[in-house]
Amino acid sequence: MPHSIPSEEALIQSQENMADTEENGNDFHISQEVEDTSAITQAAPELNDEDITMADAGVQGEAIPQLTAKSEVKLEDLFADSESDDEFSSTKAKVEKASNSPEGPASPVHIGPTSQASDPEVMRSFYQRLFPWRQLFQWLNHSPTPSTDFGHREFAFTLPNDAYLRYQAFPTSDLLRKDVLRLMPSRFEIGPVYSTNPRDRKTLRKSSAFRPIAKELCFDIDLTDYDEIRTCCDKANICNKCWQFITMAIKVVDVALRDDFGFKHIMWVYSGRRGAHAWVCDKKARQMDDQKRRAIAGYLELIRGGAQSAKKVNVKRPLHPHVLRSLDILKGHFQNDILHDQDPWEEDDKFERLLQLLPDRTLNESLRKKWSSSPGRSSTSKWADIDALAKTTKGLDPKSLLEAKQDIVLEYTYPRLDIEVSKHLNHLLKSPFVVHPGTGRVCVPIDTRRVGDFDPLAAPTVTELLGEIDQWNPPEDGEMQGKSIQDWEKTSLKPFVDYFRSFVAALIKDENEVKVKRERERDTDAMAF
């Protein structure tokens, strides 16, 4: 029988034995046989930012059952400061009881100069003391009461020995946390909500009854896709100059999703190294099928072709309002971040690429002659030379030149999206607030109201955060006397968790309002009948 969602109290004991039964399936995608995940102690290898795409599930099956909440929780109580995110994060003195729990002791870990994110005890302390489990649950559950929105959601773990554990599901955040502390994954991904509990998929008579039914619409932007046009860094390396490509992409995609599609609840998250992920959380986005997801992804995609493609932008004229708006957003970035900071055509072998994108041969010859006689001429000057020499070029079509220059601006500034992440309902994506194993940086949300201020190189690292807890001293003014302070509130993680909390609160508030409105409409219809 498929799992239902019982009360949290009834689940604690059953979860203790869950791992023993689940390992009988083919859920491990590993390079070696794994018999007992609780014994995994190898250090986590460095992973890249690539997300794992799961195989397509069936497309037929019965709808997910609806749960009835036993008690109603007020929204204003949802984020009460007096409630603890977990049992390890309060400054109040506690008496620790002996326990055989696999999550280990809650004692602080000493952070020294040699401490790294790959150290198991460092990660254990992070998951125990800093990870916002409660907010993550509320975000994915869309309600304070456990439901199938969370209980039928797939989680996938990358384990320390490079094993990849799929189709994990948890009725509550506490059970998810306990399993993370038991298995100590280097990171975990979030997948879709399924028509039944993912752990029960092999008990179904028809495999087609197990199908994905809901997931946030996601977007992935990675700086490696900009390697052919960024001059400051390449591969996994980044700096504040090339991070501006991500800033441009967030601005363009975010406004398009809000203004053109009416989405409201969009959260951008730093990937921990060289990119950003968008989670569109509106209910209408979560319920879209693959066809609609592909349509939106195609709407936003302009850059096409590989590194050897002569021209990557071919847009129809007159320009679509979305493209015109994007050009307006990007023109300032083109002058400052591309021409000045990246200086992509300074070298002689590089300006030939620019000439390939211009439409007039006579103009191109004049520009080639001028630039060849002035080695090292800046890209800003070369861009200005185009208009200056165009004025004296006979037979030149001004309209064609303008369109070519617009296409060049788009090629060097427009978002380069990993479209496959957006097209499929069943794609998994790295969870917010996990730690990137290569950099040690936490995958924190990016406040789009101040997107230009976000510095990826200043994003908190797990060792810095744990050190900040050790160095924290309570305020001397006495205002915090008697108040329980969570460990994340003592660190530079606080503004990011606060932002996440406010985002989740707004999402749940809107969903509750829609639910109440529909109930009133049903009551009105019933009375009219």
C-alpha neighbours within 13 Å on the C-beta side of residue 293: 23
Task: Name the active-site residue from 154, 282, 341, 346.
Answer: 154
pLDDT for the residue numbered 523: 65
Whether 222 is catalytic:
yes
Q: What are phi and psi of 167, to 5 degrees?
A: 55, 40
The answer on 460 and 315 residing in a single domain is: no
394 and 361 within one domain: yes
Task: Tell me how far apart the alpha carbons of residues 186 and 167 are, in angstroms, rounded to a whole number.
Answer: 17
Q: Is 234 a catalytic residue?
A: no
| Single-letter code of the amino acid located at 32 | Q
Total tally of structural domains belonging to the chain: 2
Predicted model pTM: 0.81
Q: Is residue 206 located within the same domain as residue 64?
A: yes
Residue 332 is assigned to a structural domain of this protein? yes
Tell me 335's DSSP state: I
Please name every residue paired with 461 in a beta bridge, in sequence order, or none if there are none.
Answer: 441
Q: Which mean pLDDT values do the consecutive 10-residue runs of the chain (529 residues) have?
A: 44 41 40 38 38 37 38 46 44 39 51 76 96 98 95 96 96 98 96 98 93 98 97 96 99 99 99 98 98 98 80 94 98 98 94 95 97 95 98 95 98 97 97 96 98 98 96 77 86 98 97 82 65
Question: Are both 408 and 492 inside the same structural domain?
Answer: no
Q: Are residues 382 and 359 in the same domain?
A: yes
Do both 161 and 69 map to the same domain? yes
State the catalytic residue, choosing from 49, 85, 179, 222.
222
Report how far residue 64's alpha carbon sits from residue 152's, in angstroms, rounded to the nearest whole number.
9
| Per-residue model confidence (pLDDT) at position 28 | 40
Domain that holds residue 69: 8-212+428-438+455-472+484-519
Considering only CA atoms, give the Rg of the chain: 26
Q: Could you tell me if 50 and 133 lie in one domain?
A: yes
Question: Do 39 and 173 lie in a common domain?
Answer: yes
> Does residue 433 share a domain with residue 391?
no
Catalytic residue among 85, 220, 341, 487, which?
A: 220
> Same domain, yes or no, for 366 and 514?
no
User: Of all helices (H) and strands (E), which one includes residue 464?
Assistant: helix 462-471
Cβ atoms within 10 Å, residue 83: 11
Whether residue 462 is found in the same domain as residue 403: no
Tell me the sheet residues that pair with 270.
276
pLDDT at residue number 516: 80
Residue 498 is a catalytic residue? no
pLDDT of the residue at 310:
75
